[in-house]
Amino acid sequence: MNKKNIVIGMVTAALLLSGCGNNQSELPTDTNKNVAITSNISSVSNINAEVTDYETVGEILEFNGQEVHIITGDVVEIFNVPGDLEDFYLGQTVYVTKESETDYSLIPFIQKDFTNRHTNMGHIIERKTGKVISTDKDKAELETEDGLITVSIPENIYLDENVTYEFDLIMFGEKDYYLENAYNMDWNLTLVIESLDRNTNGELEILGLENGLGRYIVDTYRAVKNFNLSDLKVGQTIRVYAHEIMESDPAQVPAIRIDLIDSFAESALEYDVVGEIVEMKDNEVHILSGDMVQIFNINDDKLKDYYLGETVKLYDDNGELKIESFLIDDFTIRHTSMGQMITEKVGKVTKIKETAEGAILTLLIDGESLEFNFYGNDIPELEGTYEFEIMSITPENHSVFNYHNPETIIKMTIKGMFRADNGELILETEDLEGGLYHIGTSSPLKNFNLSELKEGDMLNVYADAVMESWPMQVDTKKIIKVNER
């Protein structure tokens, strides 16, 4: 039989959680490559390259000779494809087109958005970052960006308490989460692809090198991926997550997740990107521009000249991606990531009304009593005078974005600077009494460009906390460069 239908029921849990199924309205941009043509078709021109008429779109589940098993939703169909299948792999999403009454052809389906994911039964899969608070049998309590949530966990996943993971969660209903997988962000391999091979089962295996030394064979079939298999090329960089690595040479890696790092990078930008460096790892730089983070690959030798928290510009120079410091002239003009203007005012707290989300603060500013929303737990003290950062969501809704206590200022002078392993610029400073400090610069509010700092510059450091060490470590949310004492 050339085409068979097999309905898979809910009891097949592995398929339920596999995340199969794609948006069939998204057509590929290049349908002229990797086409498996049936043997009785005499010309490539007979293939429907527009892919407007196809039998199905689905994921390759199995190869059995020239029979290809395709899963679409919860239905598996078996198609006879007499053409060359060497360029197709297990787990690849393809179009199936009919070429005759008995034979079919495959064309790669090019997926563009890997953030919108569903199970084959249509349930949404959400990725959340969070810390494991507690586990109990088949339940876990997670602290995520959306607050505390409880999820059901399968038997084959072990979670360490007080460890931060990225979670793939299946949503069966409101607050009804099932943990599909958990990725420990500290346990991964960054590999450069040395070769791509198709094993006897039809799975694409990646031979990757770690720092040019360690050799690993990475399975791709079961892994969650942010790329099409046809996107992979020798020389690209991938990040691999796995629960275990099998000792051999090369080591075997049954991957649960593979990120193609190069897929985020652009060799030529259509426009300049200006933003803040929020992460650097090897040759990868994460740039926060507005409320969006973009990831680029830059030669790591060039990245050593830049710092975490620094504002930079990336631009195209005749096809080469360049990076340089972006110098801010006026630090009084500030906005939130959503575009709201931030103004700075000195005010005294005269009244506090606590709410479920924080508090309503009454502030005396320039002789006028005004009310502001404050969201968060670190509420300023009554009768305290602070430097407030204020934003307006609407003309009637004014909020305190942040605040700083001028009484905590320590006057310091820069004695030296060095770059930490994570790319942060650390200042070696001395206070007026000769005390020595180390101060991180990536997160505090600043009125200077990092690339312009030099030894001898004078600073006012707002010290939220000082750790007794040598040199002393300062926890600060604001550093101001001053010209005189």
The tens digit of pLDDT for each residue in 409-424 reads 999 999 999 999 899 9
**Architecture of the 265-325 domain:** Beta Barrel (2.40)
35 has pLDDT over 60? no
Residue 105 burial (CB count, 10 A): 25
What pLDDT shows up at residue 14? 37
What pLDDT shows up at residue 11? 29
268 has pLDDT over 90? no
What pLDDT shows up at residue 106? 92
Domain with CATH 2.40.50.140 in the chain: 123-184, 189-263, 265-325, 334-404
pLDDT over 70, % of the chain = 85
5 has pLDDT over 90? no
Rounded to an integer, the average pLDDT of 53-67 is: 90
CATH tag, 334-404:
2.40.50.140
What pLDDT shows up at residue 454? 96
pTM (2 d.p.): 0.48
What pLDDT shows up at residue 9? 36
As a dihedral over the C-alpha atoms of residue 303, residue 308, residue 314, residue 319, rounded to 10 degrees, the angle is: 30
Q: Out of 7-11, 108-112, 183-187, 469-473, pick the least confident.
A: 7-11
Q: Name the E strands within 109-213.
A: 117-118, 124-136, 139-144, 147-152, 164-173, 176-184, 189-198, 204-210
At 167-212, the pLDDT tens digits run 999 988 777 889 989 998 878 888 888 899 999 999 999 999 887 6
User: Which one has a higher pLDDT value, 443 or 301?
Assistant: 443
Rounded to an integer, the average pLDDT of 103-114 is: 87
Q: Provide DSSP, 279-310.
A: EEETTEEEEEETTEEEEEE--HHHHTT--TT-
CATH tag, 407-482:
2.40.50
CATH superfamily of 123-184: Nucleic acid-binding proteins (2.40.50.140)
Q: Are 336 and 291 in contact (CB under 8 A)?
A: no
Residue 67 burial (CB count, 10 A): 15
List all residues 6 or more positions away from 8 whose beta carbon is below 8 Å from its beta carbon.
15, 71, 74, 75, 76
d(C-alpha 140, C-alpha 132), whole Å: 7
At 131-169, the pLDDT tens digits run 999 988 889 889 888 788 999 988 888 888 888 899 999
What pLDDT shows up at residue 47? 33
Fold for 189-263, please state it: OB fold (Dihydrolipoamide Acetyltransferase, E2P) (2.40.50)
d(C-alpha 6, C-alpha 12), whole Å: 12
In this structure, what are the phi and psi dihedrals at residue 229, rounded to the nearest 5 degrees?
-55, -30
336 has pLDDT over 60? yes
Band (49; pLDDT cuts 50, 70, 90) = very low
81 has pLDDT over 90? yes
d(C-alpha 30, C-alpha 112), whole Å: 12
Band (43; pLDDT cuts 50, 70, 90) = very low
**DSSP, res 162:** T
